[in-house]
Amino acid sequence: MEYFIGKSNKIKEIKDYAQKISNSPSPLLIYGETGTGKEVLVKYIHDIGNRRAKPLISQNCAAVPSNLLESILFGTVRGAFTEALDKKGIFEMANGGILYLDELNSMPIELQGKLLRVLEDGVVRRIGDLKEVKVDVRVIASTNVEPEICIEKGLLRRDLFYRLSVFYIQLPELKERKEDIIELCDYFINAFNRKFNKNILGISQEALEFFYNYDWPGNIRELRNVIEAIMNIKDEGFITPKDLPHYIKREHKGLEELVSEYEKRLIKEALALYNGNVSKAANFLKIPRQTLQYKIKKLGI
Ligand SMILES: Nc1ncnc2c1ncn2[C@@H]1O[C@H](COP(=O)(O)OP(=O)(O)OP(=O)(O)O)[C@@H](O)[C@H]1O
Ligand SMILES: [Mg+2]
């Protein structure tokens, strides 16, 4: 079983909520950027819920050509089209369990209409078939773009969104819950110690500081990959700054530096506005002329 790691308030809230909804048959919509743990969350819900003895089937809606997706979902009967065979769709295969539709916003709009009907009626019909089969499937769907934006862009049907978001979870980005980094590091270090048969003891405080300063655009997957890369090379001891890739060690700017950069920009703009006339620029910035003169020198403008 894969663990759903995190002790931050945001993750605690999500775990509590997941617990509460784990036994419900109603749909769930998850929104989270890439690598934030959508699939991990779905597995967690399957593991703790009353459908755990039944299948969890995952389908990435962007991974297959759109005309194929329909037959994957609903199945086919022999002769429905050339080469069509009698074949169950994943709705039927997931019967009693959970069907996870990842990157729902990549599903063609017409197919979203058919999906909505299946959710409303609880029956599927294989392509080319006349008879309907009753299915009991809990659908969990996810998007890696905010659902409202998907709807605006015409990538997600609003009625389907309402149907699916009976329960809704937004997974935070890693940079919004940096307090979980240390636990995630320990978890991945343990996992790769076992997998690679290594003996890494942990991560040094200095290395951790770099992790805290970094933004993690690839979220938890990126953190995991960084640790995996390090542990391919390193055998023992603590992970220290010299083990980290350069892009993570980029100099981090403090408040003072950020403020003076901003100040410099505002002064340059004011000077440009008055063709370099210091008195007028000072007047505009509401500071004495001498103060501006001093700042121009100090900031090297
Ligand atoms: N809370 C977590 N605890 C432990 N590992 C996690 C957690 N969240 C994510 N991971 C790890 O990060 C990686 C990415 O997670 P996952 O595949 O669930 O992300 P995702 O949101 O589905 O990403 P994508 O949108 O790219 O499909 C996985 O390898 C998983 O091991
Ligand atoms: Mg995923």
SS3 label, residue 95:
coil
* Six token digits for residue 232: 């391919």
Residue ID of nearest Cα to ligand 1 atom 10: 37
What are the structure tokens assigned to 216, written together? 């993690």
In the structure, what pLDDT confidence band is assigned to residue 1 with cuts at 50, 70 and 90?
Answer: very low
Q: What residue's CA is closest to ligand 1, atom 9?
A: 37
Rounded to the nearest whole angstrom, what is the distance from the C-alpha of residue 214 to the centroid of ligand 2?
22
Ligand 1 centroid – CA 271 distance (Å):
49
What kind and span of H or E run contains 262? helix 255-273
Q: Which of 40, 103, 224, 226 to mutate to test the pocket of ligand 1 (most atoms within 8 A of CB)?
A: 40
pLDDT tens column, 136-153 = 999 999 999 999 999 999
Tell me which residue has its CA closest to atom 13 in ligand 1. Answer: 221
Domains and CATH numbers, the chain: 9-172 (3.40.50.300), 175-248 (1.10.8.60), 255-298 (1.10.10)
**Cβ of residue 5 lying under 6 Å from some atom of ligand 1:** yes
Residue with tokens 């509460």: 20
Residue 202 one-letter amino acid: G
Ligand with the closest atom to the CA of 35: 1
Task: Judge whether residue 100 has pLDDT over 60.
Answer: yes
103 CB within 6 A, ligand 1: no
Mean pLDDT confidence for 245-256: 85
Give the distance (Å) from ligand 2 centre to CA of residue 255: 36
| Position 284 confidence tier, pLDDT thresholds 50, 70, 90 | very high
Contact yes or no for 71/127 (Cβ under 8 A):
yes
Atom 8 (ligand 1): residue with closest C-alpha?
37
The pLDDT value given to residue 146: 94
pLDDT at 2: 56
Give per-residue pLDDT as tens, 188-209. Answer: 999 999 999 999 999 999 999 9
| CB-CB neighbours of 94 under 10 Å | 24
The most confident of 91-95, 127-131, 212-216, 258-262, by mean pLDDT = 91-95
* Any ligand 1 atom below 6 A from CB of 89: no
The pLDDT of residue 248 is above 70: yes
Q: Which atom of ligand 1 is nearest to the CA of 103?
A: 25
**CB atoms near residue 114 (< 10 Å):** 16
